Amino acid sequence: MSKTNAKDSGFTLTDNQTGKTWEFEGHTGSMKNRLIDIRSLYSTTGILTYDPGFTSTAACKSDITYIDGQKGILLHRGYPIEDLAEHSDYMEVCYLLLYGNLPSPEQKASFDMEIRHHTWLHEQLARFYQGFMRSAHPMAIMVGVVGALSAFYHDSTDINDPEQRQLAAHRIIAKMPNIGACAYKYSLGRPFPTPINSHTYSENLLQMMFSHTSEEYKVNPILAKAVDRLLILHADHEQNASTSTVRLAGSSGANPYACIASGIASLWGPAHGGANEAVLNMLDEIGSIANVKKYIAKAQDKEDPFRLMGFGHRVYKNYDPRAKVMQKSCHEVLSTLGIDDPRLELAMRLEEIALSDDYFLEKKLFPNVDFYSGIVMKALGFPTSMFTVMFAIGRSVGWIAHWKEMLGDGEQKIGRPRQFYTGHAKRKYTPVGSRGHTPNKVSWSWLWRGNKKNAKPKDGNQKPALAEKG
Ligand code: CMC
């Protein structure tokens, strides 16, 4: 148990079928957060817990990030996200997440220097891009290229060597902007960028994305500051889907590059990091304030798969504190750059209407970080398809911090969830010639159930779709 956890009075579980009781340890964390330690549940009772989506399950202990979803609080290593976004910079937040404390000036300078000197990509890795279609989504390229790093940097794949682990961590943080910028340049058919070591992390990111070989590129400090804040706001968010994916992949002893590639794949989905791209597409689809009410109604219709993208969160049942900072940043960026994007007005009207609507109030659905980040990125010049890449660049440090923490946690085991089996009981195999005849279907789509939003509750005795049809 971590130093900040204390055993408390514990819990008693009663089986109402038999009246049998069992005792389980309870723990109280540093923020008075409580848990039931059920690790011995199955071995002592033979009973499993059922928790799809892990809504009530802590899969690990962590000292990195704390969220109070009811109050809308987010702390990294104890520091409020608002303070970090206002006063810190991305490199410092990376150090904080990785090493646990804010760096001294010397530690900051040396960490900064270390990251700046790992920004290059191996020449052969750059050739790897040629295998992708020019029209490939940059996130598809990110998954492939980051996974491929393990084929290039063999001196940093031994997870049992702390030096190699650190080297891999620094390499990933350093190379992500370059890998992302190359994905963008590749889609345009332009030469790959060269990182400039005198630039800060965010300046370099902008320079690699938007400079041309034939023209001098001067980094606009206002844009660099906005990019830096965006990266800070995405740096970590405890056990979200992609971070849990990285931990799960890493729990088998997989190398760090493969683990981060798995995180990127998970992030891509529209319910997670892909939401920033989806928000912008949604605003374009809504088109004008006159249509807002229609789309608010669509989002509430259970027969309609439409959801208000950038709204709702598994943990926050209050305003996402990152969204508040992002909204402020959005106004600042647009006014400083003199951009009049009608999507901002549309987003604000959408937010206003949603936040006064009973459906959203009852379900406690508030704007999340992705609601305004797309408008900010658009103003900064990023194409929509690069939005989730920007999220991935910012989040890479969070993934690595959790991967590192997991490897150092003696209580962690290979991730291996259990299941509640609801299929057939044991049955006898029948040779194909002796089976009944069913007409062949042209398409296999009948094997798949419809979308989740329309799915009817499943009767416990119902047979799986495959068996029904076959
Ligand atoms: N629009 C309309 N209804 C919604 C929305 C939404 N955006 N989000 C949740 N609901 C409803 C949902 O239909 C459900 O209703 P009911 O209880 O009647 O079935 C209820 O609210 C609870 O939703 P849920 O899907 O069970 O909640 P969850 O915790 O599993 O999902 C979420 C969280 C973020 C996936 C979901 O709110 C969502 O799909 N939001 C839109 C996508 C989005 O913005 N994602 C970015 C998340 S923040 C960035 C990040 O960290 O990745």
pLDDT in tens, 190-246: 999 999 999 999 999 999 999 998 889 999 999 999 999 999 999 999 999 999 999
Q: Which of 272, 313, 357, 402 is catalytic?
A: 313
For 442, the token pair is: 């042209």
Ligand 1 centre to CA of 307 (Å) is 8
349-367: per-residue pLDDT in tens? 999 999 999 999 999 999 9
**Radius of gyration of the chain, Cα coordinates, nearest whole angstrom:** 25
Atom of ligand 1 nearest to the CA of 313: 34
Ligand 1 centre to CA of 370 (Å) is 13
Q: Which single residue is written with the structure tokens 């209050």?
A: 318
pTM exceeding the 0.85 threshold for the entire prediction: yes
Ligand 1 centre to CA of 271 (Å) is 8
For 17, the token pair is: 């079928």
Q: Cα angle at 46 between 45 and 52, to 5 degrees?
A: 110
128-137, 173-182, 449-458: least confidently modelled range: 449-458
370 is catalytic: yes
pLDDT at position 451 is 60
295-317: per-residue pLDDT in tens? 999 999 999 999 999 999 999 99
Ligand 1 centre to CA of 312 (Å) is 5
Ligand 1 centre to CA of 434 (Å) is 48
Determine which residue's CA is closest to atom 29 belonging to ligand 1.
314
Q: Which of 236, 272, 370, 402 is catalytic?
A: 370
CB 378 within 8 A of CB 370: no
Counting beta carbons within 10 angstroms of the beta carbon of residue 87, is it exposed (0 to 12), middle (13 to 18) or buried (19 or more)? exposed
Determine which residue's CA is closest to atom 28 belonging to ligand 1.
314
Q: Which of 233, 363, 366 to mutate to test the pocket of ligand 1 (most atoms within 8 A of CB)?
A: 363
313 is catalytic: yes
- CB neighbourhood size of 10 (10 A): 12
pLDDT mean over 48-76: 96
Locate CATH 2.20.28.60 in the chain.
6-73
Locate CATH 1.10.230.10 in the chain.
284-379
The architecture CATH gives domain 75-272+383-407? Orthogonal Bundle (1.10)
Quick one: CA torsion of 186, 188, 190, 194, rounded to 10 degrees? Answer: -60
Determine which residue's CA is closest to atom 20 belonging to ligand 1.
363
Give yes or no for residue 459 having a pLDDT over 50.
no
Atom of ligand 1 nearest to the CA of 272: 52
Determine which residue's CA is closest to atom 30 belonging to ligand 1.
314
Q: Which CATH number fits domain 6-73: 1.10.3720.10, 2.20.28.60, 3.30.870.10, 1.20.1250.20?
A: 2.20.28.60
Locate CATH 1.10.580.10 in the chain.
75-272+383-407
Please report the sign of the dihedral spanned by the C-alpha atoms of residue 299, residue 303, residue 304, residue 310: positive
With a Cβ cut-off of 6 Å, ligand 1 is lined by 53, 237, 240, 271-273, 275, 299, 307-314, 363, 365, 368-370
- CB neighbourhood size of 128 (10 A): 18
Q: Which of 281, 311, 319 to mutate to test the pocket of ligand 1 (most atoms within 8 A of CB)?
A: 311
Short-list 227, 148, 145, 152, CA closest to 192? 145
Q: Please provide the CATH number assigned to the domain covering 284-379.
A: 1.10.230.10
For 407, the token pair is: 């490897």
Short-list 395, 393, 150, 128, CA closest to 254? 150
pLDDT mean over 114-136: 95
Determine which residue's CA is closest to atom 42 belonging to ligand 1.
271
**Mean of the per-residue pLDDT values for the chain?**
92
Per-residue H/E/C for the chain: CCCCCEEEEEEEEECCCCCCEEEEEEEECCCCCEEECCCCHHHHHCCCCCCHHHCCCCCCCCCCEEEECCCCEEEECCEEHHHHHHHCCHHHHHHHHHHCCCCCHHHHHHHHHHHHCCCCCCHHHHHHHHHCCCCCCHHHHHHHHHHHHHHCCHHHCCCCCHHHHHHHHHHHHHHHHHHHHHHHHHHHCCCCCCCCCCCCHHHHHHHHHHCCCCCCCCCCHHHHHHHHHHHHHHCCCCCCHHHHHHHHHHCCCCCHHHHHHHHHHHHCCCCCCCHHHHHHHHHHHHCCHHHHHHHHHHHHCCCCCCCCCCECCCCCCCCCHHHHHHHHHHHHHHHHHCCCCHHHHHHHHHHHHHCCCHHHHHCCCCECCHHHHHHHHHHHCCCHHHHHHHHHHHHHHHHHHHHHHHHCCCCCCCCCCCCCCCCCCCCCCCCHHHCCCCCCCCCCHHHCCCCHHHCCCCCCCCCCHHHHHC
Ligand 1 centre to CA of 276 (Å) is 14
